Chains A and B, each alone.
Chain A
Amino acid sequence: ETGVTQTPRHLVMGMTNKKSLKCEQHLGHNAMYWYKQSAKKPLELMFVYNFKEQTENNSVPSRFSPECPNSSHLFLHLHTLQPEDSALYLCASSLAGGRNEQFFGPGTRLTVL
């Protein structure tokens, strides 16, 4: 699959579990983003990486831990989540610089029991 891919597409986990979300882009981009989309709330930017360096962290709880090993891959490590963390998590990528279009992945639907 070309573009931005995310795995898994669906994830159900307990509050004591540790899991990771993966994002991969094949577009030659050098900026990657994690967003959270909850019901009835705006899409919320969580983290931004430019050239593998984290440049934004929007007061996200430490139970969410991002990792960007290279400019093509982005992970979101999850541990001791809460039920209110259940949401759609979207990954996006772009060329660095805000004037460049963001390309979104299909998202991972996360349910925390």
Chain B
Amino acid sequence: SQQGEEDPQALSIQEGENATMNCSYKTSINNLQWYRQNSGRGLVHLILIRSNEREKHSGRLRVTLDTSKKSSSLLITASRAADTASYFCATDTTGRRALTFGSGTRLQVQP
């Protein structure tokens, strides 16, 4: 079963609006990472948040982590048509040497 599960599975918004995606996971983590995938391409790393951090910013991205609820959220502010992509969370856990990915959120930003 997937360690990370994203919600919603699909999201359609207008340019300029904010987009929020959520990720829930099951076991304790070292860090949680968010990746972006454009259609037909590989995944690209966006941001990493460590287990002892609660919030992190990078440009228009804001990530929060609540380890007590085993959940994270990715907020993209002032979205652009170019943000249209799939977004995946991935968890990095102690003892595992590989990241475990969720099933992703497909974001469509309408111009």
A in complex with B: no
